[in-house]
A and B are shown apart, each in its own frame.
Chain A
C-alpha cells in the first residue's frame, strides 16, 4: 500500500500514466470518428490500426513489417530528441523539419555523386557527418539570430524550413532518376553509401533495417545523460529556465543558446540523413512541403513527456499507428484515419498537465482526511486515558 502511494506521487510515473491515459482517450475518440464515418467496419479498422504488422499472415512477413516500422521510428526519435533538447533550453525548435530535410539533402547528394561521377565513391560515414554538419549549421543560424538579434527561433525556424526545402530540391536535381521525379536508389547507384545493417537485415528479412535504429536509441540515452548528469546540461537548462540568472552566475548564455541550436539541428539532420541513407525512401525533387517528420517530432517529444527515453517509446507508438493506418480497409476509410487518431492523441497530450494536477489535488485531499482521522483517533485515545 505504502509502495503504491509513493509510486503514484512520483512525477515520472505520473507523466507516464497520463501519457498512457492520453493514448487510450485518443484511441477512443478515434474509434468514435470511425463509427461516425462507417459504423460497421469501425471495430475492425481500429483493430487494424493498433495491430499494424500483426495483421500480416505469417511470422516472416510480420517480422519484415516490424522492421519497416522500426526503420521509420528511428528518424522520428531523432526529430523528437531535437525538439525536446531545444525545449529544455527554452527554445521551440520548429525548424527541426528543415534541418531534417537539409541533413537528408546533403547526405544524399554526396552519396549519389557516384551516380554522376562513377569514380567518386563517398562512404556513408562522410555523407552522414556532412549531413549532420549541415543541420548543425542551419541550427546555428537560428541560434545566432536568437542570441545576437533576439529573433524568435520559431520565426527563423519556419523561414529556414522553406529555404532548406527548396535548397534541397535544387541540390538533388542533378541526381534525379530521369524515369521519375525521385532521386536514384542507393542500391543501384551508390551501394557504398548504404548504412551498414550488422546482419539485422537478415534477422528481419528487411534490407532497410540498419544501424539507424540502435543509433537512435543510443543517442537518446546520450542526450538523457547530457541533460541530467553533466555540467553542460545543468548550464543549458539553467539558461532555458532563467536566462537572467544564467547571466548573473557567469554562464555564457549566448554561447549556450547557439550550442543548443547546433545540437538540435544536428540531431534532426542525423535523423534525415540516416533514414535516406537506409534507402527506404527516395526524395521527390519537386516536393513543395517539408517532410512531416520534423513536425511529428514535436508531437513525439511531448507524448514522451519531454524525456529522451520516453521519446523512444512515443516515437515508436506514433509510427506504429501511422503504419497501421495503411492496413485499414480503404473501401470505407481514407488512409489519413491513422493521422486523425494520432492527431487526437497528440491533442490530448495537452491534458497531461491537467490530469497531473487533478491527481495531485485528490491525493492532497485524501491526505488531509487521513491526518484528521489520525488526530481524531489520538484525541479519543487521550480522552480515554484521561478518564481512566
Chain B
C-alpha cells in the first residue's frame, strides 16, 4: 500500500459540448515531485480547479491521506493543506513581502492590533530552511519576478501547506532563476512536501520530477517514472505522435540585405540610460537572425524602434534599401514588415473583437475587405478567417465569431502568428513567437518560420528560450544592457558560451 498525500480518482468533469476531464486519475505520493503534463487545453487547469473546489466533478472522488474528502471551495482546499503558486502571481504590488505573506492570516492581538514580529521570525526561519533568501521588508514592485515567485512559495509554506502546486512556474523566469527554482523544489520535496508541477516544458520535467502524469484532450494517458522514460516518449504521450524537437532545415543561403540598422539608440522609459545603445546589424534575405539575451536587456525597445512603435533617439533604420527611420507603422507594414508582438494582449489582439475581426487587423483596409466607399466586406473577412483558422489549426469555441478574450492563450498566439505570416512579409519580426505554446504547436510554428525563410524572406527572431535560439537561428546576436555584445554561429557555439555573453561576462 503506497502512501499518497492526495489522490484524485476517476475524475470526470463535463462542460457543455466537451468533456474537460474524462476519467482522470492522479496520485501524488508524499515527498515526491509529480509532473502534470499536457498540451494547451488538455484539461490540466480543469483538474486543478476541481482540486481547489472551484468545480465539482460529476464523477470520481478525492482522497487525502487515504480518506475521502469533499472540497467545496478553495477554503476547504486550504484547510487540507493544499497551496498553489499561480502562473500570474496574486500579490499586492505596493505591500512588502512580509505583508503579502501574512495577508489573510494576519496574526493579531486580542485588540485587533497587528503583531508582525512572530510572523517575521517564522518567515525568516522558513526562508533560511529552504534557501529562499527573501528580504521580508522589500516591496513587491521593487523585486524581481523570481523573488516574487519565492514570496508566493513562502505564502504556502507560512500556511503550513503540505501539498504544493506550481502552475507553469518557469514561464516567467530567466534561465538562471529557473535553475534556482528547481533546486528549491527539490529542497522542498526532501523536507517531505509533496509537489505537483504543471508544465509543458519537457526538459524541466526530466530534470526535477520523480513521476509524470500525462493528459491529452481531457483523457488520462498514463503515469510514468521519469527515470524509466525519455523526453521523446513523454512528448509522444502528450501529443499522440512523434515530435521533432529540432526542426530540420538546410543551411542558410543569405542574399540581399533586407534590414540594415545603423547606430540605433532608443531611450528608455524606465531609467535614464538608453534602452538600446548604438546598435548596428543587418538581416539578409533567406536567413533567420536571432536576438538572444536575458529579458529586459533592450530587446523590447529594439523591436519597438524597428517597427515604429517608439521613435529612435538617434541612428538609422533601412528596410529594402529605403530609409524608414521616420516612416509610419502602417507604411512599414505595407512595405512588407510583419511583427509578432511580445505581448499578445497589449499589442497583438483586440480582445473584445471576434477572432475573424482580429485576423484582419493588419489588412482590414485592403480592397479585399473594404469596399471603395468604406464598407467592410464581412463575407470576405469570414472566408479569410476560416481559411487561416483551418490552415493554422486555431481552436476556439465558436470558430470565427468567438470573442478573442474567450480563447486560450496558445490559440490566441496561433491566431497572431497566422495573421502575421500569412501577410507574406519580406521581413518577419517574431518576438517570443512560441511563448506559452506546447511542443506540438511550437514545432508547427518553427516549421512555418523556417519555410518562410526558405521562401526567400528575412526573419528576425527575438527569444528568451535558449533552445529555440539554438535550433532555429542561422546567426545569433546576443544583447546585454542595450548593446549587441557578440555575434555567434549556432553551429559552433554552445549554450554555455552564449550564457556567458548573456550575463555580460564576455564580449567581442
Please give the residue numbers on chain A whose beta carbons come within 8 Å of chain B beta carbons, in ascending order: 229-232, 234-235, 237-238, 241-242, 244-251, 364, 367-368, 371-372, 375
Contacts and interface: CB of A to CB of B under 8 A. Distances in A.
8 contacts: A229-B375, A231-B376, A234-B357, A245-B346, A248-B307, A248-B341, A368-B15, A375-B14
Interface string B340-359: 01000011111111000100
Interface stretch (B123-131, B164-172, B311-319, B360-368): B360-368
Nearest to B419: A249
A230 B375 contact: yes
A371 B349 CA distance: 34
A230 B346 CA distance: 24
B16 A234 contact: no
Given A250-B331, A250-B362, 16 more contacts: A229-B375, A230-B376, A232-B374, A234-B357, A235-B364, A237-B353, A241-B353, A245-B349, A245-B361, A248-B309, A248-B341, A248-B347, A249-B330, A368-B15, A372-B58, A375-B14
B346 A244 contact: yes
A372 B349 contact: no
B494 interface: no
A250 B362 CA distance: 8
Nearest to A370: B16
B376 A249 contact: no
A94 B304 CA distance: 35
Contact of B364 (A234, A247, A368): A234
A251 B364 CA distance: 11
A250 B376 contact: no
Interface residues of B, number: 32
Contacts of B329: 247-250
A238 B362 CA distance: 12
Contacts of A244: 346-347
Contact of A242 (B58, B350, B362): B350
Given A231-B374, A234-B364, A245-B347, A250 B16 contact: no
B328 A250 contact: yes
B408 interface: no
A242 B353 CA distance: 10
Interface string B104-146: 0000000000000000000000000000000000000000000
Contact of B376 (A229, A245, A368, A375): A229
Contacts of A246: 350
Interface of B: 14-16, 58, 307, 309, 328-333, 339, 341, 346-353, 357, 361-362, 364-365, 370, 374-376, 378
Contacts of A241: 350-353
Instruction: Describe A's contact surface by its main secondary structure.
Output: helix
Given A231-B365, A231-B370, A368-B14, A248 B376 contact: no
A209 B282 CA distance: 70
A249 B333 CA distance: 8
Contacts of A230: 374-376
A242 B358 CA distance: 12
A249 B16 contact: no
A230 B361 CA distance: 14
A60 B241 CA distance: 81
A64 B494 CA distance: 88
B338 to A, nearest CB: 11
Nearest to B341: A248
Nearest to A367: B16
A305 to B, nearest CB: 16
Contacts of A247: 309, 329, 347
B346 to A, nearest CB: 5
A260 to B, nearest CB: 16
A372 B19 CA distance: 11
Contact of A234 (B58, B309, B376): B376
Contacts of A234: 357, 364, 376
